Amino acid sequence: MTIKDKLIEKINALEKQEMLLNEAYNYLSYLESQEEDDVFIQASEKSLKKVWDNTEDDIYN
């Protein structure tokens, strides 16, 4: 195997590592966005519950 062949192999391996790192980064970004969505949903649910509780108080009092 020549030096050129070894360099080509190393370059290919580095490109594969870069691709895997990009995939991992994209997945982590996706998970982070899901987490933000979950936080938003929970905040919305709490807000709606407060509104409902206040409405119930107004209705029954």
Residue 19's SS3 state is: helix
Domain count, the chain: 1
Q: Which range marks the domain in which residue 22 is found?
A: 1-61
SS3 category, 61: coil
Tokens at 25, concatenated: 């980064």
In the numeric block, which tokens belong to residue 50? Answer: 């407060």
pTM equals 0.57
Helix (H) or strand (E) holding 10: helix 3-60
Pick from 11-20, 30-39, 46-55: least confident: 46-55
Chain-centroid distance, C-alpha 51: 30
pLDDT per residue as tens digits for the range 14-35? 999 999 999 999 998 888 888 8
Type of residue numbered 1: M
